[in-house]
Amino acid sequence: MASPILDITEPSFNIPISRLPLDTPLSGFTLLQHDQERAKYLLSRGNDPLEKRTASINVTNVGTTYVASVGVGTPATTYSLLIDTGSSNTWVGASKKYVQTSSSKSTGNSVKVTYGSGSFSGTEYTDTVTLSQPLAIRGQSIGVAANSMGFSAPLDGILGIGPVGLTRGTVGNTPTVPTVTDNLKSQGTISTEVIGISYEPTASGAVTNGELTFGGVDSMKYTGSISYNPITSTSPAGLYWGINQNIQYGSTTVLSSTAGIVDTGTTLVLLATDAFQRYKTATGATRDSNTGLLTITNAQYNALKNLDFSANGVTYSLTPNAQIWPRTLNTAIGGTASGIYLVVSDLGSHSGNGLDFIMGYTFLERFYSVYDTTNKRVGFATTKYTTSTNN
């Protein structure tokens, strides 16, 4: 059984995060294709991480994006950075040009990172990165983009909060580079490498509806207690914030005792192809040709059952309402205003490859999540949105 853990009471700092509206789809790419291209890259890391890290796939990001306003330099220039648990490099310069100040120092090292749904390359600098007062990190390694793909205004880059091992091979000949969380701990700003993330489901395209907490958790953002799950030893899921789970739809077993990841850079809930087919059959859904997502009728929606994710003895249920895309945002993804689209979709690869599911932000909007580097674990707690019917 997972043991509920008392709130982490070390000094912690909260910063607001905002959800940006969906971009207009370009070149025929859909929200699902964006997520599947990212999934291909995440899965490839288990075979040859260093070689495949440099593979470039030109896909335009059409998903909604959660960003934080981050200051870089002295005085600081503010950048809108995507919050990404699936990568660990922090970089700027995709839209707004990097401004050098008295605290900016080029290391001369090249830096390159590919995300499947985009990439950037440029030069490594060290600089002061301000997440909020007093979260100012001195000498933080950042990438300054000379070239980037898949990123457009107002998105300026990425705030990488994944495990430090994901920086391996990205910067010159440096084995790894410390993440923002590593440096907050080493500089004494926080005493434990823990990040809490609160997202809130919304029917609006652009809104400040989330919070990042560094150094602990915000007990006002969840109900009950947090239950933790150890990072899986299965590769490649174990390179990320990966855990083992069973997934069940009603009485139908979708996936049994398998590894996958929690990823804020993914929008949908992705299941291995064979598991997805079991879910599709059980719901009676059909594939929509415009969005690529599953669609259901009103009668099928009324018959939907919970989709249960069981990890370490605790079950986290996506209710029927939590399994559908917000209907007020249907047209933003190429759907019809009256359609009902499911947020559960096809990972694009069969189970048994070491990464059989991805829990994107449509899952995370229903649960508080905790990323504990110190103890190598991921935690979840229910929120007031776990059973809400806002979609």
Q: Domains along the chain?
A: 45-198 (2.40.70.10), 222-382 (2.40.70.10)
263 is catalytic: yes
* pTM listed for this prediction: 0.90
Q: Are 379 and 372 in contact (CB under 8 A)?
A: yes
Considering the candidates 23, 35, 84, 288, report the single residue annotated as catalytic.
84
Run means of pLDDT, 10 residues per run, the chain, 391 residues: 39 72 50 86 62 24 66 95 92 94 97 87 97 88 94 87 94 92 92 90 72 91 94 96 97 96 94 98 97 97 98 96 93 92 97 96 95 96 90 75
Can you give the pLDDT at residue 366? 96
Considering the candidates 23, 35, 156, 263, report the single residue annotated as catalytic.
263
Can you give the pLDDT at residue 51? 32
Q: Where are the alpha helices (DSSP H) in the chain?
A: 31-44, 49-52, 180-186, 273-283, 298-302, 361-364
Tokens at 341, concatenated? 């689209």
C-alpha distance from residue 126 to each of 90, 104, 108, 118, 148 (Å):
11, 6, 10, 23, 20
Can you give the pLDDT at residue 57? 20
Q: Are 285 and 300 in contact (CB under 8 A)?
A: yes
Can you give the pLDDT at residue 332? 84
Cα separation of 283 and 300, whole Å? Answer: 7
Can you give the pLDDT at residue 56? 19
Cα separation of 295 and 344, whole Å? Answer: 10
Residues 6+ apart with CB under 8 A from 289: none
DSSP 342: B
84 is catalytic: yes
Can you give the pLDDT at residue 118? 82
DSSP string of 27-66, one letter each residue:
TT--HHHHHHHHHHHHHHTTT-HHHHTT--------S-EE
